[in-house]
Structure 1
């Protein structure tokens, strides 16, 4: 029997097999009320003529919106990966929105449309990564009963906003204590925005460790801008051009640390021989740096996974144990920090 020409339909398959369209449909749907001989004949015709039928409608899957403000970097990619992997495990799709309304647009038509779109598109919850949300946006999300979880919020979150982060204070303290143990006392800090909650915690931990040994942190040893390479380059240049420059710098992110590293190289300073350096995050760039970067590890992928699971809990009407979850940080010692040449190691 030759292959049927043109578009193969149920009717053409039925005619070729000598059965009704209903019988072909039963075979396709796996119905049991078809004899073995008839089923075999229909399947032979279906296979011979390559019948594929119409693409079935995709099953409905719940979706969660992950919105992010800023430039994607090694830090954010790892967090996003954690959210997506947890979504796959939970059978939930994650939709990434890199252009949500800016907080200054609160109450604007764009912000209102964004929230209406979240609801209209059937989002079960929203997750914000290092994002700022104005009070008006938070109130609108609350009225819409759309759960929100924020990861490392760029501003101090409202008390009733659920957030996920790490032990930033302890991490900042561990970074400073490590440099102090190497004999350094002139230690600078190059970090993120002054209003950033995680930055404030890291800097507070850093200052606490310094104060515990009576080491001063002069204003010129603190540079606050953002967590990007360019900020490390600028902050590092500012400190390393001082007449009494620091012998060590704690950078608020690995990307900032790379900027400081380049600022040191541009001035003929070697790391760690002339300048010790500690970062924060433990992203892939920390391992690829030259020298490999001593840094404070945040469990970035796990932070994303916890945020996704928490968002689904809230969407299901379940209570969460805490409005703010902090995962433990760990100091990872590599090759970018060394004992101060003029001071004994404590």
Structure 2
């Protein structure tokens, strides 16, 4: 215990002298590639002076891989998470590693508990989906040399945290521009949680598209949801109760669009004759609902594949081509939107 305390104290001292954070010192000590060359050289020199570099190199040489990759996502109730997991499995199937999946059930407390447990587990690395993104929450992984990649990050990430996301801003703008091209002028959006960068970016794209077309951004047409069908249902009913309801709804995700569909049908409204609806994600159910859903395809499976490929590079001590990867979203036109009738 005394030796462990001494090591932590030394790392704190080295971090102060090098002008970097303790996690950065840990990454250099554990031979992680995601550190700038000049910073690495400065930290290594200090580590060598304190004798930590040599001792840890011997420890690393004795370490063997477990063959286990951990994956953490918010819940088992979402096609979104399963599509990412399918991409992860596709890559791991070509290796000798296996996947261990855990869920936080959307609880920050359970996520923190998982972080504390994984440092004592035989894990080669981790893929974190929608992790609460304060950089300090990743400290246990850094300290115990557990490489990780964040997918679709849910908060602020450190500059050297590997992550994979999608062009949410472009997707939000594309969805709104498509509805405008059909003649819609009263377009509402039902967001995901406003604390999430992906929600913020989609709404920002929505705003830009309206402003570029000379259309007002109406606060009563921006409704906060939580990416669930129930929130789509509740917010659609609120929009229909407005003195001037929208003629089109942009749902924050396809599962939320299911709630939009249900609310419209409960009101006796037809899609797309009475209301155009567009979603986001293009999960498998989007093509089998009636009418099939026009949506913005977020390459979820590809995000899982890219994140896993990045993680395998980190596990092998290989450099990454890029710390941050952003994959393109694109419009998938089906039958839930139509040109607006002149009389509406």
TM-score by length of 2: 0.77
In the TM superposition, what are the counterparts of 1:1-346 in structure 2 within 5 Å? 62-99=67-104, 102-104=107-109, 111=113, 114-115=114-115, 117-342=117-342
CA 1:320–1:343: 2 relative to 1, 3 Å: farther
How many Å apart are 1:91 and its aligned residue?
2.3
Give the Cα–Cα distance (whole angstroms) in 2 for the partners of residues 141 and 201 of structure 1: 28
Q: Deviations over 1:90-119 (max 9, x none)?
A: 22111001138943578xxx73xx445423
Q: Deviations over 1:317-337 (max 9, x none)?
A: 222122221111110000000
For the Cα contact (< 8 Å) 2:66–2:122, is it kept in 1?
A: no
For the Cα contact (< 8 Å) 1:124–1:312, is it kept in 2?
A: no
SS of the residue 1:223 aligns to = strand
For the Cα contact (< 8 Å) 2:295–2:333, is it kept in 1?
A: yes
SS of the residue 1:325 aligns to = strand
How many Å apart are 1:80 and its aligned residue?
0.8
SS of the residue 1:246 aligns to = coil
Give the Cα–Cα distance (whole angstroms) in 2 for the partners of residues 231 and 214 of structure 1: 29
TM-score by length of 1: 0.76
SS of the residue 2:124 aligns to = strand
Larger Rg: 1
1:45 maps to which residue? none
Q: Deviations over 1:44-102 (max 9, x none)?
A: xxxxxxxxxxxxxxxx8511110112343111111111111211112211100113894
Q: Deviations over 1:181-234 (max 9, x none)?
A: 000011000020111111111111111111101111211111122111111111
Give the Cα–Cα distance (whole angstroms) in 1 for the partners of residues 287 and 241 of structure 2: 27
CA 1:61–1:188: 2 relative to 1, 3 Å: same
Q: Deviations over 1:144-195 (max 9, x none)?
A: 2212211112223333221111111111111011000000011000020111
Gaps of 5+ in 1: 1-59
CA 1:133–1:155: 2 relative to 1, 3 Å: closer
For the Cα contact (< 8 Å) 1:61–1:93, is it kept in 2?
A: no
CA 1:199–1:291: 2 relative to 1, 3 Å: same
CA 1:147–1:284: 2 relative to 1, 3 Å: same
For the Cα contact (< 8 Å) 1:104–1:134, is it kept in 2?
A: no
Q: Deviations over 1:16-38 (max 9, x none)?
A: xxxxxxxxxxxxxxxxxxxxxxx
SS of the residue 1:90 aligns to = coil
Gaps of 5+ in 2: 1-64
1:15 maps to which residue? none
Give the Cα–Cα distance (whole angstroms) in 1 for the partners of residues 300 and 135 of structure 2: 27
**Number of residues of Structure 1 aligned to a counterpart in Structure 2:** 281
RMSD: 2.2
Q: Deviations over 1:272-315 (max 9, x none)?
A: 01100100011111111110000011111111111111111112
SS of the residue 1:89 aligns to = coil
Give the Cα–Cα distance (whole angstroms) in 2 for the partners of residues 100 and 228 of structure 1: 14
Give the Cα–Cα distance (whole angstroms) in 1 for the partners of residues 168 and 194 of structure 2: 14
SS of the residue 1:289 aligns to = coil
Q: Deviations over 1:119-146 (max 9, x none)?
A: 3322111111122144442122222221
